[in-house]
Structure 1
Amino acid sequence: MGRIKPQTLLLQSKKKKGPTRISGTTILTCNLVVGLIVLSLVATYRQWSNRSRSQAEDGLQNLEDTDAVKDLKKFDLPSYAILNTSKGFVFVELHKEASPEIVDKFLDLCQKGYFKGMSFHRVIKNYVIQGGDDIQGLGAAEDWIMKGKPHSELAVSPKHEAFMLGTSKAKGGSKEFDLFITTAPILDLSDKLIVFGRVIKGQDVVQEIEEVDTDEHYRPKSTIGIINITLKQEI
């Protein structure tokens, strides 16, 4: 075999291909493609995130409209009212289920200080004490006494028991609000009063109020009334 000449080797080595170089245009194109992919992914994520947030807000709004949430809000309201009277404290449990609209109105007026300084202007022993406006729709106090039933004839009912808190139906949509506390079972006032609570403590204070001296129209001879009302969730 013949020896290859050095010149031939040199020519063959020049013909061998070296490493392929990547052009600047190719690099720029790749960078643009990668950038577009990244921007597309970011835009897709933002759209998905906004849609999820919107759906969550819609779901929360729908949840707030459900009866369960409304009931929860209702029971978050104060359940008790403490009447600070000139004779002492009277603790009242509010009937939020039985009379929700009246209880809401009562709570709103309490927060506005509506009952501060309200006097009991009618006191009928063994019957009822009344504070607030003189409601003509209930009739004269003398008529109440004449229509009163003997206690032995009354059927047992929460609306007819003693120490129940109520307000007059005569006012309707009026902004005024009066308070009645029964001191005996009263059947004939059930159609005229909306019962929305009951006295759970301080019955002796109510009885002391009904013992005050009154004139022939059952109006106390000395001023007696509510100093203020405090609302409580628990007692």
Structure 2
Amino acid sequence: MKYRVTWRRVVSMLLCGVMLAGGVTGCGKKEASLSEEKIINYDMPAEGEKIVELNIKDYGTVKIRLFAEECPKAVENFLGLVEQKYYDELIFHRVVKDFVIQGGDPKGNGTGGESMWGTGFKQEISSKLCHFEGALAYAVASDKLNNSQFYIVTGTTVTEQTFEQLKAYGKTYSDQVKQMYYEHGGQPYLDGDYTVFGQVIEGLDICKKINDVAVDSKSKPKEQVTIESMKVTEYHAQ
């Protein structure tokens, strides 16, 4: 099975008239009132909170906040794999311009990877977390189960036309979330379909630099982009 996240599938569904049942007023929770929710992607970690440092060869370090309260199993799995050094020396095997950079596959071709438990686990989709630029989420195969593969949203400009298209098929957003997408960019088409469980808090420029690399016809970088290491550390405000 190939683990991937794709805007083409989502857009194709919309254009072909496949109804997205219910309204999505948060970022994935259907038929919820966003006025009751607080979008937390850009809330900074508490002092001493666990974060992950992603060290990318020849590029630098990306720091990521994880949202354990919203996605406990997703975060437990990611931290467990990091502690096992599972991701060390793996590559970003898929890079799609203005969309995502994707990694976490030991096979390096999008077909491998497993969770810390050896089997896939159910998605944890929170209405408080959106696919803004810098969001960290799990890529899934056709079984819709999370394993080890992840992606970071590199985003694109979001316009009112984006939301009009989504609204036409039953997917709606509050003014608050729209404004955040206008400000930060991202991929609202993906909301509700994938588990967002983290957010880049430092090093987004590195992710965007990787997003600019030359790729082949399968979106694989022509020159390897390697995860030198990942480690769990504590957040301390500078």
TM-score normalised by structure 2 residue count: 0.54
Amino acid at match of 1:108: G
Q: What does residue 79 of structure 2 align with?
A: 107
**Residue 152 of structure 2 corresponds to which residue in structure 1?**
181
Equivalent residue, structure 1, for 2:191? 190
Q: Deviation string for 1:61-120 (max 9, x for gaps)?
A: xxxxxxxxxxxxxx9x95200000121100001111111111011111111110001100
Match for 1:119 among 91, 94, 99? 91
Quick one: distance in 1 between partners of 2:145 and 2:187?
25
Find the aligned partners of 2:145 and 2:151 in 1 and give their Cα distance: 18
Counterpart for residue 130 of structure 2: 159
Separation in 2, partners of 1:191, 1:209: 26
Q: Residue type of the partner of 1:178? A: Q
- Shift of the alpha carbon at 1:193? 1.9
Q: Name 1:84's counterpart in structure 2.
A: 55
Matches within 5 A, 1:30-179: 79-86=50-57, 87-133=59-105, 134=110, 158-170=129-141, 176-179=147-150
Amino acid at match of 2:80: D
- Residue deviations 1:151-197 (CA, integer Å, cap 9, x gap): xxxxxx741210101112446667x4111000011122234321110
Secondary structure, counterpart of 1:196 in structure 2: strand
Query: Would the aligned equivalents of 1:119 and 1:225 in 2 still touch at CA under 8 Å?
Result: yes
CA distance in 2, matches of 1:78, 1:229: 16
Deviation at 1:230, TM superposition (A): 1.3
Distance 1:230 1:216, change over 3 A: same
**Counterpart AA for 1:164:** A
**Structure 1 position 229, deviation (Å):** 0.7
Q: In structure 2, how many angstroms separate the alpha carbons of the residues matched to 1:173 and 1:92?
A: 22
The alignment status of 1:214 with 2:185, answered yes or no, reads: no
Unmatched tracts of structure 2, length 5 or more: 1-45, 113-127, 156-185
Higher relative contact order (CA 8 A, sep 6+): 2
SS of corresponding position for 1:104 = helix
TM-aligned CA distance change 1:194 to 1:135, over 3 Å: farther
Q: What is the aligned partner in structure 2 of residue 68 from structure 1?
A: none
Q: SS at 1:193's partner residue?
A: coil
SS in 1 for 2:82: helix
Structure 1-normalised TM-score?
0.54
Counterpart Cα distance in 1 of 2:49 and 2:85: 16
Bigger radius of gyration among the two: 1
**For the Cα contact (< 8 Å) 2:131–2:196, is it kept in 1?**
no
Q: State the partner residue of 1:223.
A: 224
Identity %: 30
Root-mean-square deviation (CA), in Å? 2.5
Kindly indicate whether the alpha-carbon contact (under 8 Å) linking 1:78 and 1:231 is maintained by their aligned counterparts in 2: no
